[in-house]
Every structure is written in C-alpha cells, then in structure tokens.
C-alpha cells in the first residue's frame, strides 16, 4: 500500500464554485469560504458499502449507543471535530479522546439515510468505481450543505481500532472529508494534519485532528469555543420514551432551551436528517439542569444536544450519548453504590442516584447474579430475588437505604440491584455485590 494517497475535494468545487483562501499568517491550514449554520449540522450515512470489512465491527460501546459497524465509524469521525469530548471521550482505540475541535462548532449525528441524497443532503455514501488515487471527496460544501462519496475501488474498514495495511480506514478518511464539509481546505503543515491533502498510511492517524486542524476550525471558521457554550456532563432520570429525563451540565439558558434528539427517519429528502427538538425548556439549579419528557415517537438513540436560547454558533452544545430505552443489555440508568464489605450485625448504607425524580426505588437482592426478568424487564439478579427495602428519591433522583445486616448473614455474598416503576416504565441499576463478614 502506498504511503501517499490523494484525497480530493469534489469536482464541482475544483471547477470554481468556491474560493480557496490561504491565510496570511504562518499557519498552514486553509479554508474554502463559508461555514455551516445551526440548521446544517446534521450528518448521516447511506450504508450501501459492499466491503464486508465495513460491517465486521459488531461490538457495541456504551459511549456510542445503538450504532456499530461503519455507522459508528462515521459518527466518531464527525464527533472528533466537536467542541468538547463526546460523552467521556472514549471508544476509539487509536486516540485518547474523541472531541478535540475546541471551536464553536458541533456536528449533529443523525444516523442512517436511505439513499445518497442530493448535493446538499449532508449524507456520506459509497460510489462505485475509481478515480486514480482519489479515496473520497466532498461535493459542494459549504453553507447550504454537502455530500461525501467514497470510491468503492478501495477496501474500506470500519475499525474500530487498528486497520490492516491492505485496507483503508473509513473513519480517518471520513474525518478529513467532514473537515471539508465544515469549511476547511487542505493544509500544508507538517505533522500530518487530518486536513493534509494526502492520507498518512491507511488513514487511521487521520481520525485524530492535530493542532493545525484545531487552529483551522477555531481561527479560520467558527472561532475558539466560547466559555458560555452549553455543556452536557450527564443524563439522569429516565432514558425511556415518555420518561422524565434530566440533562445535567453547564451554561443552560434560564428559559428557551431546546434538547435535540436523533430523528429516526431515513428519507434522504425532507426533514429526516433534522433533529427532533423539544423546545421552550427552562433550566434549574443555576443553569445546570433541564428536565423534559422524552418524545414517544420520531426519535432514536444516538446523541442529544442542548441548544440554549440565541442564534450564534456557540449556542449548541457538543453531543452526548443517549441510549433510548436503555437499548443495550447491561446499560443501567440508576446508579447503586455503597460498601462492598459489611459486618454481620452492623449497618450498611447504600446510595441511589440517577433515578427518575421523586420516584419510589426498590432495593432487590439475590444470592445469584445470573439474570432474570421481572415485570418484563431484564435484571442482572438471579431468579430467586426478594425486595429488601425501598426509598423515595428526591427531585434530583438521589436517595439512600440504611440496612441492618442480620447476624445470620455472616459469610454470605449478596447481590443487590435497584428497580423502579414510573408510569409503567421499569428502570434498573447496576448490580452491587456485598460480602458479609
Ligand atoms: Zn481533501
């Protein structure tokens, strides 16, 4: 495999529909003129890729809920340009953090599209055939949208970590092309920036943007991230359709916030790429919490964003993982914590957090952790479970249990798990193992 493969902007752009601006300072990044407004932040993939190696990463990751394979690769490619870490920043073995843009800019992951869409549909898709050394290209950026095509003459790989040298890394090349979509041209800087015209090796290193790419998006297009940009640090309460979700973070407006969900539509035309917005939301606790009802239709899992009041680029937060209906087995919405060793005859305090606000949360126990179904919901406890206690959590979803440990329990290992039923929606916690001395 050659070390240098040409990446290209689309022919329409090269034909002169946009101007390449080379900055006058010593930086080597460039821009193509224009930027993506808040109505054009969505990005989707038409997964018609024929390479099996685009579809062999079937391992889910909790920071990237509900998507695997080349979809997960595309999602991470855009999230890398985000203002801050996506979720906890994990889930990519080739880089320490996903979300390094540091600018007033965030892409909005919108999942799958059903076809390639038009020039401004904001969809990534495969294209049969080849064009010399060109890997992929971005058509008609910038402000009214874009389309990205990947030549199928290359063998594309969905990762997620290393990629054999005989294949090209989808995520790294997508990160480059999405850099064009957001308004960057090619860079001549050393150090192999993602926006170099040439891929490095098979492109894995291009997944992680460099200081030159950061300078480009910050200084050349969207400005360095404002200290007032909203930030999501956690989701509490319910993740279920119709449930009460609490978005926790910073810099939310007092009133007029919006929470953006991933649209579940796949039509390439129309509004299916646009986020589903819950609008008119007030914040509490000094702009750090927004409580809302999760829509019961039209959305899917993926990511959510907070859009504060106002119209500037700095009013839209980075994306945060949102696992609708806790879709992955083993992902728990309630957190149960406490000591792992207690004395028979003593007292054990267990703490509950991230529960649905003001809900009654039951503490169940079992002597096994083989899993069982209770009221149609999958729990981690074994089938020989019993209710040990219950508590009414507060408006922040926080509560605790004080347990008198019986003398007869000495030497036992007990598994504990929370369960709650709010309006017919059952949520559960992590399993907590307690050994009695
Ligand atoms: Zn390029």
Q: What pLDDT, in 10s, does the model give residues 108-140? A: 999 999 999 999 999 999 999 999 999 999 998
Residue with the bigger pLDDT between 151 and 375: it is: 151
CA of 138 to the centre of ligand 1 (A): 8
The DSSP secondary-structure symbol of 50 reads -
Backbone angles phi, psi at 33, to 5 degrees: 90, 120
Give which of 29, 84, 140 is closest to 316, Cα–Cα: 84
Topology classification of domain 231-326: Immunoglobulin-like (2.60.40)
CA of 157 to the centre of ligand 1 (A): 19
Q: Is 133 in a helix, a strand, or coil?
A: coil
Average pLDDT of 99-115? 97
Average pLDDT of 35-63? 95
Taking the C-alpha atoms of 349, 354, 359 and 365 in order, what is their torsion angle to the nearest 10 degrees?
Answer: -50
**pLDDT bucket at 347, cuts 50 / 70 / 90:** very high
Joined tokens for residue 85: 């870490």
Question: Omega of the bond prior to 379 within 30 degrees of 0, cis?
Answer: no
The DSSP secondary-structure symbol of 65 reads T
CA of 95 to the centre of ligand 1 (A): 21
The DSSP line for 181-233 is HTTB--B--SS--TTBSEEETTSGGGGS--HHHHHIIIIIII-BPPTTS-EEE
Is pLDDT of 361 > 90?
Answer: yes
Please report, for residues 131, 266, 363, the alpha-carbon distance to residue 392 in angstroms, rounded to integers and kept in the order given.
64, 41, 11
**pLDDT bucket at 330, cuts 50 / 70 / 90:** very low
**pLDDT bucket at 13, cuts 50 / 70 / 90:** very low
Domain with CATH 3.40.390.10 in the chain: 4-222
Distance CA 319, CA 214 (A): 18
Is pLDDT of 37 > 50?
Answer: yes
CATH architecture of 4-222: 3-Layer(aba) Sandwich (3.40)
Give which of 276, 271, 321 is closest to 294, Cα–Cα: 276
CA of 179 to the centre of ligand 1 (A): 8
Q: What pLDDT is attached to residue 249?
A: 95
CA of 75 to the centre of ligand 1 (A): 19
Q: What pLDDT is attached to residue 101?
A: 98
Domain with CATH 2.60.40.10 in the chain: 231-326
In the chain, the percentage of residues whose pLDDT exceeds 70 is 91
Q: Which residues pair with 44 in a beta bridge?
A: 123
Distance CA 64, CA 295 (A): 20
CA of 196 to the centre of ligand 1 (A): 7
Distance CA 258, CA 72 (A): 25
Please report, for residues 209, 325, 388, 403, 417, the alpha-carbon distance to residue 350 in angstroms, rounded to integers and kept in the order given.
43, 25, 12, 8, 11
CA of 377 to the centre of ligand 1 (A): 48
Joined tokens for residue 113: 């599209």
Residue 281 CA, chain-centre distance (Å), reads: 22
A 10 A CB-CB count for 228 gives: 15
Distance CA 372, CA 368 (A): 10
Is pLDDT of 318 > 90?
Answer: yes
CA of 11 to the centre of ligand 1 (A): 12
Which run of H or E residues covers position 312?
none
Of 134-143, 294-303, 427-436, where does mean pLDDT reach its minimum? 427-436
CA of 15 to the centre of ligand 1 (A): 15
Is pLDDT of 2 > 70?
Answer: no
Is pLDDT of 5 > 80?
Answer: no
Average pLDDT of 280-289? 95
For the chain, give the mean pLDDT: 89
**pLDDT bucket at 354, cuts 50 / 70 / 90:** confident
Q: What pLDDT is attached to residue 423?
A: 65
pTM, two decimals, is 0.75
Of 14-18, 130-134, 176-180, where does mean pLDDT reach its minimum? 14-18
Q: What pLDDT is attached to residue 92?
A: 95
Distance CA 258, CA 252 (A): 10
Distance CA 277, CA 306 (A): 9
**pLDDT bucket at 332, cuts 50 / 70 / 90:** low
The DSSP line for 329-388 is TT--SBEEE--SEE-TTSEEEEEEESPPTT-EEEEEEES--S-EEETTEEESS-SS-EEE
CA of 266 to the centre of ligand 1 (A): 27
**pLDDT bucket at 379, cuts 50 / 70 / 90:** confident
Please state at what angle helix 170-181 crosses helix 69-79, rounded to 10 degrees.
40
CA of 284 to the centre of ligand 1 (A): 44
**pLDDT bucket at 90, cuts 50 / 70 / 90:** very high
Topology classification of domain 335-436: Immunoglobulin-like (2.60.40)
Task: Confirm if 143 and 131 have CB atoms less than 8 A apart.
Answer: no
Q: What pLDDT is attached to residue 26?
A: 53
Q: What pLDDT is attached to residue 78?
A: 98
Domain with CATH 2.60.40.730 in the chain: 335-436
Taking the C-alpha atoms of 55, 58, 61 and 66 in order, what is their torsion angle to the nearest 10 degrees?
Answer: 80
Is pLDDT of 158 > 90?
Answer: yes
Which run of H or E residues covers position 125?
strand 123-127
In the chain, the percentage of residues whose pLDDT exceeds 90 is 73
**pLDDT bucket at 197, cuts 50 / 70 / 90:** very high
Give the HSE-up count for residue 257: Cα atoms under 13 Å, Cβ half-sphere.
Answer: 29
């Amino acid at each position: 495999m050659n070390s240098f493969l040409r990446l290209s902007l689309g022919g329409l752009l090269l034909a002169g529909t946009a101007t390449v601006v080379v900055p006058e300072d010593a930086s080597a990044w460039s821009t193509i003129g224009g930027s993506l407004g808040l109505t054009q932040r969505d990005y989707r993939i038409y997964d018609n890729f024929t390479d099996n190696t685009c579809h062999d990463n079937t391992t889910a990751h909790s920071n990237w809920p509900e998507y695997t394979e080349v979809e997960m690769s595309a999602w991470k490619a855009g999230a890398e340009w985000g203002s801050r870490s996506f979720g906890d920043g994990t889930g990519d073995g080739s880089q320490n953090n996903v979300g390094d843009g540091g600018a007033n800019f965030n892409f909005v992951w919108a999942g799958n599209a059903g076809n390639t869409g038009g020039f401004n549909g904001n969809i990534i898709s495969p294209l049969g055939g080849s064009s010399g050394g060109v890997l992929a290209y971005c058509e008609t950026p910038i402000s009214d949208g874009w389309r990205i095509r990947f030549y199928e003459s290359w063998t594309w790989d969905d990762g997620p970590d290393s990629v054999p040298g005989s294949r090209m890394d989808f995520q790294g090349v997508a990160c480059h092309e999405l850099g064009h979509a957001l308004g960057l041209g090619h860079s001549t800087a050393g150090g192999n920036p993602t926006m170099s015209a040439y891929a490095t090796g098979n492109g894995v290193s291009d997944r992680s943007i460099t200081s030159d790419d950061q300078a480009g998006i910050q200084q050349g297009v969207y400005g360095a991230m404002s200290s007032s940009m909203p930030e999501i640090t956690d989701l509490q309460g319910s993740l279920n359709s119709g449930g009460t979700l609490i978005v926790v973070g910073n810099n939310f407006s007092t009133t007029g916030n919006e929470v953006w969900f991933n649209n579940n539509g796949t039509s390439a035309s129309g509004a299916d790429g646009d986020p589903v917005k819950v609008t008119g939301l007030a914040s509490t606790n000094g702009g750090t919490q927004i409580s809302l009802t999760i829509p019961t239709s039209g959305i899917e899992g993926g990511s959510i964003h907070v859009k504060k009041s106002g119209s500037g680029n700095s009013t839209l937060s980075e994306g945060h993982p949102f696992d609708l209906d806790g879709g992955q087995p083993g992902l728990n919405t309630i957190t149960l914590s406490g000591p792992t060793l207690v004395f028979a005859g003593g007292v054990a305090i267990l703490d509950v957090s991230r529960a649905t606000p003001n809900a009654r949360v039951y503490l169940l126990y079992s002597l096994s952790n083989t899993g069982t179904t209770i009221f149609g919901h999958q729990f981690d406890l074994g089938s020989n479970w019993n209710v040990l206690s219950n508590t009414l959590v507060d408006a922040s979803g926080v509560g605790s249990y004080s347990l008198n440990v019986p003398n007869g329990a000495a030497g036992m290992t007990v598994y504990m798990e929370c369960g709650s039923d709010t309006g017919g929606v059952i949520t559960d916690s992590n399993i907590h193992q307690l050994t009695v001395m």
